[in-house]
Amino acid sequence: MALIVQKYGGSSVADAASVQRVAARIVATKQAGHDVCVVVSAMGDTTDELLDLAQQVTADPPSREMDILLTAGERISMSLLAMAIDGLGVEARSFTGQQAGVITDAAYGQARIIDVSPSRITATLADGQVAIVAGFQGVNTEANDVTTLGRGGSDTTAVALAAALGADVCEIYSDVDGVFTADPRIVPSARRLGQIGYDVMLEMAASGAKVLMPRCVEYARRFGVPVHVRSSFSDLDGTLVTKEDPMEEPIIAGVAHDRSQAKITLVDVPDVPGKAARIFKVVADAGVNVDMIVQNVSASGTGRTDVSFTLPAADGDAATAALAAVRAEIGYARLAYDDTIGKLSLVGAGMKSNPGVSARLFHALSDAGINIEMISTSEIRLSVVTGAGDLDAAVRAVHTAFDLDSDQDEAVVYGGTGR
C-alpha cells in the first residue's frame, strides 16, 4: 500500500464524462489498496472563459480580484470530481488550496508556495476517504486572501503536497503519454523516455518541453519527490522523473524546442567596459528575463559591436521601450527586434563529457540547409536559435542525427555506450 498523489489537468476533466472517467481511475487506485490525494485543475476552457469575462468588464482588472475569479474554476472541478467518486461508492472530500494548507506569499497571480500544512488532508486519508485538492491556488495567511500560483501551478501544488504528505509518488496526468525525445507532433518517430533525472528534465522544461513546468521540477528535485508523468487517456506507463541514475541516464535525453522567444539586437554599441552590464540592468529593471546572449567581437576595428539576446516574445514591448529610453546614454545606433525565431535545445546528462556532440549537431543542421543565428551551451544542454520557419525541420534533423528515432536501436542512446 502506497500514498499516491495524482494530478489531473484541465484536458483530463474537460466535461462531465471526462470527470467520471477520471473518477473511475481514482477509484481503481483506491481499491488497489492505496491512499489517494488528487490535485485537479479547472475544467477545459474554464480559465480562458473567466479571463475573457474579466476583460469584458474592465481592461486592467486588479490582481487580487483576478485571483478570486480564477480560483472559481478549480472549485467547480474539484467538487464535481468528489461527487463523481462518491457516485462510484467511494467517499471523497474536496478542499480548496486554503483548506489543504497551501500557504503562499502575497504575489497575486504568481504566488510562491512558502509552506504546506496538510492536516485536513492527512485526516481525510486516515479516514479512508479520497482527498481532492484544488490546484493552482493557495492562501496568503497574512491577508487571509486567496492567491493563484501562475503557470504550471497545479503541477507545483501536486508536488508540494506530495512532499508535505511524504507520498511515495506524484503522478502528473495530462493528454500526453510522458516525456518524449522530441514533440511527437513534429517528430512522429519520437520515443517516450522511461526515466529521466531531475536536472535533465529541468533543462528540457526550461527549453520548451511543455509536459512539465520548470518550477514544478525544481520543487520535486528539492524535496526528492518522484514524479510519474502519464496520460489520463491510457493505462501505459509514462516517464518517471527522479534522481539521476548514472547507469540509466541517456547521453542525449531529447530535443526540446521553443517558439515563444524573440530576439533583440542592439547595433553599433560602443565596445567599452560596462556597456553590457548597463544594457542588461535596464532590461532586468523592466522585469524581463533574458535567455541567450551573444556579443560579437569588434573585429572591424571600429570600436563598436553588436549585442543580441533572446527573451520571451511577450516581454518584447517592455524591453524595447526600456532600451529606447536609454539609447543616447548607451550610444547604440539601432535596435532590431525579431520575433520570428525558434530555439532548439539538445539536452542530456552525458553531453559535456562527450566531445563531438556540438559538431554533430551543427553538421546535421548544415546538411539540412538551416542557418544558425545564435548558440549557447550549459553543462547538459546545447541550444541554437534558427529562423522560426526552419525550427520543425531542425528538430527532425537533429533528432535523426542523434539516433533518437524510434526505429533505431535504443541501446545506442542510453548510458554506458561510451559515445
Interface residues toward a second copy, by CB under 8 A: 16-17, 19-20, 23, 50, 53-54, 56-62, 64-66, 68-69, 71-73, 75-76, 78-80, 82-84, 86-87, 92-94, 96, 99, 120, 144-145
* Residue with Cβ nearer a second copy (102 or 276): 102
* Residue with Cβ nearer a second copy (81 or 288): 81
In the complex, the smallest distance separating the C-beta of residue 382 from a second copy, rounded to whole angstroms, is 45
* Residue with Cβ nearer a second copy (142 or 329): 142
Scan for cell 472549485, then name that residue.
75
Characterise 255 by phi-psi region: left (phi > 0), alpha (psi -120 to 50), beta (else).
Answer: beta
* Residue with Cβ nearer a second copy (97 or 316): 97
In the complex, the smallest distance separating the C-beta of residue 31 from a second copy, rounded to whole angstroms, is 18
How many CB atoms are closer than 10 A to CB 16?
Answer: 11
* Residue with Cβ nearer a second copy (16 or 32): 16
Instruction: Quote the cell numbers at residue 394.
Output: 531542425
* Residue with Cβ nearer a second copy (39 or 69): 69
* Residue with Cβ nearer a second copy (19 or 364): 19
* Residue with Cβ nearer a second copy (135 or 254): 135
Instruction: Quote the cell numbers at residue 123.
Output: 485526516
* Residue with Cβ nearer a second copy (100 or 365): 100
In the complex, the smallest distance separating the C-beta of residue 364 from a second copy, rounded to whole angstroms, is 50
Instruction: Quote the cell numbers at residue 392.
Output: 520543425
Taking the C-alpha atoms of residue 321 and residue 206, their distance in angstroms, rounded to an integer, is 26
In the complex, the smallest distance separating the C-beta of residue 43 from a second copy, rounded to whole angstroms, is 9
* Residue with Cβ nearer a second copy (4 or 78): 78
In the complex, the smallest distance separating the C-beta of residue 160 from a second copy, rounded to whole angstroms, is 20
In the complex, the smallest distance separating the C-beta of residue 56 from a second copy, rounded to whole angstroms, is 4
In the complex, the smallest distance separating the C-beta of residue 10 from a second copy, rounded to whole angstroms, is 15
In the complex, the smallest distance separating the C-beta of residue 249 from a second copy, rounded to whole angstroms, is 43
In the complex, the smallest distance separating the C-beta of residue 39 from a second copy, rounded to whole angstroms, is 16
In the complex, the smallest distance separating the C-beta of residue 219 from a second copy, rounded to whole angstroms, is 26
Taking the C-alpha atoms of residue 299 and residue 305, their distance in angstroms, rounded to an integer, is 8
In the complex, the smallest distance separating the C-beta of residue 111 from a second copy, rounded to whole angstroms, is 16
* Residue with Cβ nearer a second copy (89 or 273): 89
Taking the C-alpha atoms of residue 336 and residue 177, their distance in angstroms, rounded to an integer, is 40
Taking the C-alpha atoms of residue 247 and residue 56, their distance in angstroms, rounded to an integer, is 55
SS (H, E, C) the chain: CCEEEEEECHHHHCCHHHHHHHHHHHHHHHHCCCEEEEEECCCCCHHHHHHHHHHHHCCCCCHHHHHHHHCHHHHHHHHHHHHHHHHCCCCEEEECCCCCCEEECCCCCCCCEEEECCHHHHHHHHCCCEEEEECCEEEECCCCEEEECCCCHHHHHHHHHHHHHCCCEEEEEECCCCCECCCCCCCCCCCECCEEEHHHHHHHHHCCCCCCCHHHHHHHHHHCCCEEEEECCCCCCCEEEECCCCCCCCCCCEEEEECCEEEEEEEEEECCCCHHHHHHHHHHHCCCCCCCEEECCCCCCCCEEEEEEEEEHHHHHHHHHHHHCCHHHHCCCEEEEECCEEEEEEECCCCCCCCCHHHHHHHHHHHCCCCCCEEEEECCEEEEEEEHHHHHHHHHHHHHHCCCCCCCCHHHCCCCCCC
